[in-house]
Structure 1
């Protein structure tokens, strides 16, 4: 019997399985990585806005961002939670700074003053 083609066939089979596994994991990890980048940028923008508000208005106590929640399908909503309610006169500032921070993420394009687009998904910022 001649076994000269046996190793080539096994090698091709193993390499094809490895390629399939890599493609499956990259299709899962890619969107999750984008989502993590969006959440991080939203937290940085909101934290920066709160810091600016505390610095310019000495009567206001500093606040912490307690949570970032992203919900929805292709039209996603970024809900930002703080330890206390944000005063109504500062809500627009927080949203603007958050959107500005989101625009620093690679591939993010502005839609309007509260919404950005990344790929096929839109993200709307809410407090």
Structure 2
């Protein structure tokens, strides 16, 4: 008579350990995916704002130089506002130019641009220049 281990059967404990590991990996993947999305979008927003402020300063020599001070994410459920703080004062045209540059930079990362906001499978991002 052969023992259980010699017949190729696995114990229920082993199956439960594998199931628990699969659940943990799945939970981490969901969290990491959301964090990665927000990191990519924040980086693209900073790059777009930096490019726009540099272009505005180069094209308008009388303009005082401005720079991106901070990018804050204001989370409201699935709606996220990217608040971009710019040093110095801007006209409404300059603010619109920076916002459009930010949106285009984010869209270049593969996200869809819809009605002046970025829509992903998880969130809807809007841009506010202050």
User: Which TM-score tier does this pair reach, normalised by the shorter chain?
Assistant: 0.7 to 0.9
Unaligned runs of 5+ in 2: none
Partner of 1:77: 81
Partner of 2:124: 122
Cα deviation, residue 81, structure 1: 0.6
Unaligned runs of 5+ in 1: none
Partner of 2:17: 14
Counterpart CA distance in 1 for 2:104 and 2:61 is: 24
2:67 to 64, 69, 73: 64
- What TM-score does the superposition give when structure 1 sets the normalisation length? 0.85
> Any runs of at least 4 consecutive aligned residues in structure 1 with deviations exceeding 3 A, and if so which?
none
Counterpart CA distance in 2 for 1:124 and 1:54 is: 24
Aligned length: 125
Matched, 1:54 2:57: yes
Matched, 1:40 2:38: no
Larger radius of gyration: 2
Answer whether contact 2:34 2:122 (CA < 8 A) is retained: no
Cα deviation, residue 6, structure 1: 9.7
1:96 to 93, 96, 100: 100
Q: Secondary structure of 1:61's match? A: coil
